[in-house]
Amino acid sequence: MQEVKISKWLPWVGAIAMFMQSLDGTILNTALPSIANKLHRSPLEMHSIIIAYTLTLALLIPLSGWLSDKFGSRNIFIMAVAIFTLGSLACALSKTLELLIITRIIQAIGGSMMVPVSRLILLYTYPKNQLLKVINFVTMPGLIGSVIGPTLGGWLVQVASWHWIFLINIPIGFMGIFLSLKVVPNYKREKGKFDFIGLFLFGLGLVLLSLSLEFGGDQTSNLWEFLITFLLGFFLLVIYVIYSKHTYSPLINLNIFKIRTLRIGIIGNLATRLGVGGVPLMLPLMLQVGYGKKPFIAGIMLIFSAITTVIAKSWVVPLVKYFGYRKLLIINTLLLGFIISLFALPNKNTPLVYFIPILILYGAINSIQMASMNSISLADLTLKNASHGNTMLSVTQQLSISFGISVSSMILRGFDASKIFKDVIFTFKATFIVLGLITILSTFIFRRLKSGDGKEMSGVNQ
């Protein structure tokens, strides 16, 4: 790997990529009814816009690491941001649902490479004793983007039009391209021929898994659609595992799972997000459906957690240094599950101000959780396996986001269909308690960490 001069602005490139992708993943949700009205379609048909984006991400994320190593990290990152930005403009100019779906796919092609490539650049650039601080910095905009997305989307639709939820990406994209030209190193590594069979098996398997998760959380889908797509996707991934052991240069070298911290970090990421991932969806939904609040009010409540997400980022490095990854993740995961369960306490007569301290705690604890899980996953990667490890983390995060939303939706639907509760509010309360318990159970995964894991990453001398 060539020596490069590290610019102090380099982490901002990763932060911009993380913010753009996470904001785009949530800002559309509150705008779908307005888009449906303007395009003269049923709101139930608009779900295809989100599915098209999610499936494209799942298919192409595994390609990002190979492209970056083969053609240069700066070249691929700039291309990714440019495609995402042009796709955003095309989305805003779309006049029909069919055209909007196509332009969302174009947008997702860029989005599938932005975050994985930007994080790979950071892995190649910074020594391990600086990585925790850097990854913590670039993770925060992603958390903020996912939290403020529904609020911003509702506000833009109310004061302007749905087109602006895509147009706001354009100046951010140009900023990212300009900064990349100035500060991003163009790393290249020797790569063999591309593994097209691996992409077919692994990529299509992920697409079908993602699609099954969409079916699982969609009220218009049935159980058979979920089971068939899930099992077929799982079968293709099993075939890929067998295939990868007998090919010289597989798309993803699964030997990286022998790295204990990566394995625990990825499994912990997936398990924890099953509980956490549904909160940004369930809370505004509960406030609107259960408590009768307006969409903008329901969305703006999440701003309180966004504020503490920013504040808490400065606590992560000292907390990891003091407690170590194992103890911090065990304690923090327990706290996070308990806080999620607290959303079940209010009732119809409870003032909204009650939610503020819970949201403040949720934002801070969730911020610490995400930064810690991501950084311990990358702690023991080397330059040789960084591309494969980073790709697997990116794939896991994308799947876990969909999984978290779908699981929370399935739990809510299950309680609703069972008719156990006469009042819809109690259905939401029970859902939050279950999500909290799922999060608490994921603590057992982090117990498999050792007390000395990640010391080099946190800058603590062993």
Closest CA to 325 of 448, 449, 462: 449
Q: How far apart are CA 202 and CA 185, in angstroms?
A: 29
The amino acid occupying position 194 is F
With 0.85 as the threshold, say if the pTM is over it.
Answer: no
- Span 102-114, pLDDT tens digits: 999 999 999 999 9
Max Cα distance, the chain (Å) = 65
Residue 241 tokens read as 């595992």
Structure token pair of residue 265: 């970090």
pLDDT at position 461: 43
* Strands (DSSP E) found in 156-308: none
Most confident of 191-200, 258-267, 421-430: 258-267
**79-106 confidence digits (pLDDT tens):** 999 999 999 999 999 999 889 999 999 9
Tokens 């801070």 found at? 364
CATH architecture, domain 253-462: Up-down Bundle (1.20)
CB atoms within 10 A of CB 5: 6
Q: Which fold has domain 8-194?
A: Growth Hormone; Chain: A; (1.20.1250)
Token pair for 52: 């098209």
Q: Name the more confident of 98 and 457.
A: 98
Q: What is the pLDDT of residues 238-273, one digit of tens each?
A: 999 999 988 888 888 888 989 999 999 999 999 999
97 residue type, one letter:
L
Sign of the four-CA dihedral 325, 326, 331, 335: positive
Is pLDDT above 90 for 365? Answer: yes
- The two tokens of residue 435 are 């999500």
What is the C-alpha to C-alpha distance for residues 366 and 57, in angstroms, rounded to an integer? 24
pLDDT of residue 462: 37
To which residue do tokens 């939820």 refer?
Answer: 165
Helices 97-125 and 128-159: crossing angle in degrees, nearest 10, is: 160
Q: What is the mean pLDDT of the chain?
A: 86
d(CA 166, CA 169): 6
DSSP 103-122: HHHHHHHHHHHHHHHHHHHH
* Residues 445, 326: Cα–Cα separation, whole Å: 10
What is the number of residues in the chain? 462
Please state the three-class secondary structure of 307-360 as a single string: HHHHHHCCCHHHHHHHHCHHHHHHHHHHHHHHHHHHCCCCCCCCCHHHHHHHHH
pLDDT at 301 over 90: no
Separation of alpha carbons 179 and 183, rounded Å: 6
Instruction: With a cut of 70, say whether residue 307 has pLDDT above it.
Output: yes
Q: Read off the tokens for 108.
A: 């997702």
Q: Cα(16)–Cα(81) distance, rounded to whole angstroms?
A: 10
Report whether 25 contacts 122 (CB < 8 A).
no
Instruction: Kindly indicate the confidence band of residue 295, based on its pLDDT and cuts at 50, 70 and 90.
Output: low
Average pLDDT over residues 401-407: 79
Query: Which pLDDT score, from 0 to 100, does residue 171 have?
Result: 94
Q: How far apart are the first and last CA of the chain?
A: 27
For residue 461, the one-letter residue type is: N
Contact predicate 445/438, CB 8 Å: no
| Residue 257 burial (10 A CB sphere; 0-12, 13-18, 19+) | middle
DSSP one-letter code for 255? G
Q: How many CB atoms lie within 10 A of CB 179?
A: 17
Q: Could you give phi then psi for residue 162, rounded to 5 degrees?
A: -65, -25
